Every structure is written in C-alpha cells, then in structure tokens.
Chain A
Amino acid sequence: MNDLSLPSSPGIRQGDASLNPKSQPEPASVISVRGLQLRYGDLVALRDVNLEIPSSQVTAVVGPSGCGKSSFLSCLNRLTDLIPSCRAEGRIRFDDVPDLLHPKVDLLELRRRVGMVFQKPNPFPLSIRRNFELPLREHGVPKDEIPGRMESTLREVGLWKEVADRLNSGAQLLSGGQQQRLCIARALALKPDVILFDEPCSALDPMSSGIVEEHIAALKDRVTVVIVTHNLAQAHRIADRLAVFWVRDGAGTLIEDGPARRVFESPRDPDAALYLRGAKG
C-alpha cells in the first residue's frame, strides 16, 4: 500500500524478536512493539514493553489505573510528541514503517493511518459536515469525494439516519454517544489501518456505551482495533486478544498478552490472574 518516508531502519537492537518468547507465529502483526520505554522527565511511565498487534483483530489493553495503558496507546500514533518532556524509546514497527518512533517519520501521514478516539468525545465545535471536511481536505481528499465518504462512514457507525437532515448544525449539539460515534466515523473517513480507542465508553451512559461498543466490535473487518478499557466485561465481549499492563518497580509494563480467551481462562502471570479473576467474581 503506502510507503512512509523513512530512512533505512537502524540496526536491530538487543532483546528482539528471535529472543522473545511472545512473538510466536501468530496472525500477521500490523504493529510490533519492541523494548518500548516511556519517560516523563525523570519519571519512567513504561518499561520494556514488547507486544505484537495482529491485523484485523480487536486487541484490548487492560490493567489497573496508572499502569500506563493510555500512555502506551499515545506512543502508537506519537501523540506523546505533544507532551513536553515526554520521551519514548525503543522500536515500534508499523506495517511498512520500520520504526514509527524515528524522528523523521511523517507524523501527519502516520496519524492518518493510525486513527484515535478519545475517552471524552472531541468533535470540533463546528458543524457535523465541517468535522469531516476539515481533516479530509487536510489529507488531500478531493472535494467531491467528501460527501460520499462522510455518508458511508456515518452509516457504518449507525449515525447517518440520525444526523442526515442536520449535517450543518453543530456537532456539539449531539448527545454524548452520538458525538463519540461521530468521532469514530471521522477517524474512519481517513481510511486508517489502525484505530486506537482510549476508554471510548467510560464517559458515556450505559445505553450509548453499549451502542458504541457494538460498532467498535464491528470495525475489525476493516481496521485493526486497539482499545484501552477499564471495563473487563467489555474486554471479554469484544476482544480477540488481551494485553494486561501492571505496575512493576514503579513503572508500567506489560505482564501478559495473548488470545483473549486463553488469557482470560488461564493467565500465566499471577498478578494478571488475580486481576482478571477479580473481574469475573
């Protein structure tokens, strides 16, 4: 598909694929994270994270508060760059991009290909239509293609019927759940390969939360989904794969990952077992 403007990849570092027991032959991964470390100034938020994210599946990232789940997610589209004093080290391969942490990566294109939906719905304070036009025009989509893309993605999130007659009214007049689905549609309209969800339902009421959740689960035929969630029941319902984060030695790290069913039923890590059992009980 696309190639990203990258220099030849730097030499492979230690602790890589061949040495890592977690990278057994599994579905082709679209993102593979190697030895990721994230620091805010002197504070280490994430240490030594290695994770394969297979394409066209839902990977749920779970763990207690403060274990760095959301920070991990923002490494994947380099939103960490926006935080002063935040530094990510290690290597993250994304599709044909050898290391998306490399400073010369085309961030605008990376963020088109790796979309993100936030905890709090963040439609721009503009009309529904402008919410699509603005990013799509930015990425060079011709004007006459925009209405089509907007309609088809709005249909995908089940919002078209609700908003078709008021595309020119303010997006912030929609309900919370509608806003969140609008944000999903907006991300989808850029035709991304991956969409990152940062606790997308936790700011919504149970009804809308259920609707949004259904639509996320339905997305995996089109895109790879990575979702951070506090809600283990939700992870249970929609995840194909599960990654459990934990705080070890004052820093967040990945303690277990694998197919969701296997990790839920027979976790190998004792902390993960405890955490997941708590959810069941």
Chain B
Amino acid sequence: MPDPSRHRRTRTADRLLGALCWASALAVVAVFLWLLWDLLSQGLSHLSWSFLTGTVEDAGRGGGIAPVILSTLLILLVCLAVAVPLGVGCATWLSEYQRPDGALAGAITKAVDLLASVPSIVFGLFGMVFFCQVLDLGFSITAGGLTLACMILPIIIRTTLTGLHSAPNELRLGAAALGMTRHSALRHLLIPAAVPGIVVGVTLGISRAMAETAALIFTSGYATRMPSSLSDSGRAMSVHIYDLAMNVPGGAANAAASAAILLAVLTAINFTASKLSDRWHAKAVVTR
C-alpha cells in the first residue's frame, strides 16, 4: 500500500503552489486596478470636450491638448506611410522571391531582428543625428515620424511574413500553372491573403508608435503650438505627459488626463489587434 504521509505531502505541495499562484495573480490584478483607478480618478475630472479641442496654455497646466493630438496623428501618419510599404515590400521579397535558407534572406532577417532589439532611446539618438541633422529636417513631425518608422519596421515585417506564410501554397502553384506572372499573383492573390497579418501588424505598430516617448523627444520636439505643416515641430501625446510630469510643476492633473486618453486609445487599438488576429487565426483553421 502507498505511504499515506507521502500522499499528504503531495496534497500540501499542490495547495501551496496553488495558493502562491492565486496570490500572485491577485496581486497583479490589484496593482493594475490601482494604476487604472489613480489615472482615471485624477484624469477624468479634467477631461472635457474643451480639453480635447483647446490649445495648450500655461505650459500645459491649462487649456487643452488639441495641437498635441494633431501632432500625434501627423507623426503617426508619416510613420505608417513609410513603414507600411517598406515593411510589406521587404517581407514580400523575403517570402516570395527568396529561398528561406538563402544567405541574403538570412542576413536580412537577422538584421531586422537586430533592429527590433535596439532600445528606443537609441532610435531617438539616431533620428536626431540622421533625420534632423544629416538630412536637415530639423526638429519636425517628419523627423519624428521617420524615426518611429524605423522602430516599427520589424513589427510590420514579421506580421506580414506570418500573413504570407499562412497563404496556401496552392495559390502560388495554381497561379504559376496558369502562366501568371509573380507580381500579379502577388497583387491579386497573395497580398490579399496576407492582409489580415498586415492589418494586425499595422495595429501593433500604431500602438507601439503611440506609446513611444524616448525616440521622439529629440526628433519631433516639444513645440505646443498647432502644427501647420509636417516640417513644424510637434509634441506627441506621450512627450506631453512626460513634460508635464517632469518639467511643469502643477501639471500632474493634466498629465493624468492625457494619460487616461492615451491609455483608452491604446487599449482600444490593442483590443482590436487581438480580436482581429483571433478571428483570422480561427478562420484560417476552419478553411484549412
């Protein structure tokens, strides 16, 4: 017969590990709610329509954040306009024009992986030297957007690659057997099949770009006036929060309000991304 004390020991171990797991999960949730509560309770009271549409006054202590929102959107626009075509093109070439074990393809994949691991402050330094000074763009929305484009490029490339890899090989064979050119197979069949992956990549890229601060401080700058062109300096949401919290005494409440908005937008974007990828993943399984 088995030794009853051994059984007891097993059961105790089970209970102990279970309790630890529950405790840590509860702790994580509690801290998350605490963070959320603080931001919302401090921020919501300052949130109003005029906050969203007003200009920045008194270094951000008063007024609204309309120019900041516009700058953020413009930076994002520049970033996506560069990163999406470049990333999709790169991924398409890697997936459809190169053998996966090819030397050049391998080197490019490695370089992209390396790019993904560069800390954001280094992107900021690079953007400051290369875009602002060497290319003479100055502290501008364009420079900030281009810097962020470099940063989200790996995300777009990876998700597009995943999308293209999930396109059934029958499409490629079928198109080739009908004497179709590669580029028209790409345009009409493979890229459409990869669109889910690309969309997920773009959403993830947007969320990464909107959350970024360090890469923007030295590239798109701090200006709080309404930007009139892409060559103006413009302050992104996250830079606004940073500046209010660090350099403007009495700016905490507006910082919290801005943070609440940023968090809400990012949550919505991330939620969309995960829903989209879930749905397409499920669909891919069903149609197989």
Contacts and interface: CB of A to CB of B under 8 A. Distances in A.
Interface string B176-195: 11111100100011001100
Interface stretch (A60-68, A133-141, A220-228): A133-141
B93 to A, nearest CB: 16
B174 interface: yes
Contacts of B179: 107-112, 135, 138-139, 190
Interface string B144-182: 000000000000000000000000001111111111110
Contacts of B172: 82
Contacts of A111: 176-179
Contacts of B15: none
Nearest to A106: B179
Interface in B44-103: 99, 101
B178 A190 contact: yes
Interface in A62-105: 77, 79, 82, 84
Nearest to B99: A84
A122 B180 contact: no
Interface in A101-135: 107-112, 115-116, 118, 120, 122-126, 134-135
Given A111-B176, A115-B177, A116-B177, 15 more contacts: A79-B177, A108-B179, A110-B179, A120-B170, A122-B170, A122-B174, A124-B189, A125-B193, A126-B188, A135-B180, A138-B178, A138-B179, A138-B180, A138-B181, A172-B287
24 contacts: A84-B101, A107-B179, A110-B179, A111-B177, A111-B178, A112-B178, A115-B177, A118-B170, A118-B174, A120-B170, A122-B171, A123-B174, A124-B175, A124-B188, A124-B189, A126-B189, A134-B188, A135-B175, A138-B180, A139-B179, A183-B174, A186-B178, A187-B178, A190-B179
A84 B99 CA distance: 7
Given A84-B99, A138-B184, A115 B174 contact: no
Nearest to B167: A125
A118 B173 contact: yes
Contacts of B101: 84
Contacts of A82: 172-173, 176
Interface string B209-235: 000000000000000000000000000
Contacts of A110: 179
Nearest to A189: B178
B280 to A, nearest CB: 13
Task: Report the 3 A-B pairs with minimum CB-CB distance, sorted nearest first.
Answer: A111-B179, A116-B177, A122-B170
A108 B173 contact: no
B178 A115 contact: yes
B26 to A, nearest CB: 46
Contacts of A124: 171, 174-175, 188-189
A136 B191 CA distance: 20
A134 B192 CA distance: 14
A96 B176 CA distance: 22
Nearest to A124: B189
Contacts of A118: 170, 173-174, 177
Nearest to A138: B180
Contacts of A79: 173, 176-177
A108 B170 contact: no
Interface string B113-151: 000000000000000000000000000000000000000
A84 B96 CA distance: 12
A108 B193 contact: no
Contacts of A123: 174
A190 B171 CA distance: 18
A52 B175 CA distance: 27
A82 B181 CA distance: 13
Contacts of A187: 177-178
Contacts of B181: 108, 138
A111 B178 CA distance: 6
B173 A122 contact: yes
A103 B268 CA distance: 53
Contacts of A108: 179-181
B181 to A, nearest CB: 6
A135 B177 CA distance: 10
A87 B52 CA distance: 65
A190 B179 CA distance: 9
A134 B177 CA distance: 13
A126 B189 CA distance: 9
A172 B176 CA distance: 19
B257 to A, nearest CB: 47
A216 to B, nearest CB: 16
Contacts of A120: 170
A168 B206 CA distance: 36
A186 B178 CA distance: 9
Nearest to B178: A135
Contacts of B175: 124, 135
Interface string A204-216: 0000000000000
Contacts of B173: 79, 82, 118, 122
A61 B179 CA distance: 23
A103 B192 CA distance: 31
